[in-house]
Amino acid sequence: MRKIIFWVHTSIDGHIDGPNGEFDWPVMGEELSAYSESLSDRCDTFLYGRGVWEGMVAFWPNAESMSDHPHILKFAPLWRETPKIVFSTTLKEADWAARVIGDDLAEQVAELKRQDGKDLLLTGGSGLAATLTGHGLIDEYHIAVHPVVLGGGRPLFAPRDERLGLRLAESRTYDSQVVVMRYDRV
């Protein structure tokens, strides 16, 4: 069965964006970029919630014209070529996406996991991750903790009624500044 891998950047005070929605603080050094690329290599489909999708589609189709950062130059073609699924109840179609899923989320994601293929990569956001976590559908949590205090913004994890037990599978520092922790669902 395919796995869903959740890859997310957070501040040390537990926010995935700043108080005004800013996402200009993650630093993708050489080592962290290689880690991110290794996750992408494990997957054949990228998953996004609507909010993250809007940020991705505003940048990645023409990323090389906006930056010459090595990670961007390497990832942009992969992003364009890889099938993408957007989860949204408001979007009916999305440029660059293979499909939009707006209903029966748990069943449709469970079906994606049962299909043949490589793993599925869910990048960023908290709403879709919270929903999939609630249904027990995320298998691995890869959390990059950046050395910044944002003082507000969306929390890494939305409040839950029940605890979620995870097992630390790996923890490593990248580029002498970012700690990535990988947790597996127990």
- Of the pLDDT bands very low, low, confident and very high (cuts 50, 70, 90), residue 95 is confident
Q: Give 56-70 pLDDT, tens digit per residue.
A: 999 999 999 999 999
Strand ranges inside the chain, DSSP E: 4-11, 43-49, 84-87, 99-101, 119-123, 140-146, 166-174, 178-185
Mean pLDDT on 139-149: 98
Q: How far apart are CA 149 and CA 44, in angstroms?
A: 34
Indicate if the pLDDT at residue 149 is higher than 90.
yes
pLDDT at 112: 97
Indicate if the pLDDT at residue 4 is higher than 90.
yes
Give yes or no for a contact between 87 and 101, defined as CB atoms under 8 angstroms apart.
yes
Residue extents of the structural domains in the chain: 4-185
Q: For all residues of the chain together, what is the average pLDDT?
A: 95
* CATH node for 4-185: 3.40.430.10
Q: How many CB atoms lie within 10 A of CB 112?
A: 17
Q: How far apart are CA 91 and CA 49, in angstroms?
A: 10
Task: Record the pTM.
Answer: 0.95
End-to-end CA distance of the chain: 16
pLDDT at 50: 93
- Of the pLDDT bands very low, low, confident and very high (cuts 50, 70, 90), residue 86 is very high
Residue 127 sits at the vertex; the CA angle it makes with 121 and 132, to the nearest 5 degrees, is 55
- Percent with pLDDT over 90 in the chain: 92
Q: How far apart are CA 80 and CA 82, in angstroms?
A: 6
pLDDT at 93: 85
Q: Give 158-176 pLDDT, tens digit per residue.
A: 888 889 999 999 999 999 9
Comparing 87-101, 112-126, 135-149, which segment has the lowest mean pLDDT?
87-101
Q: How far apart are CA 145 and CA 108, in angstroms?
A: 31
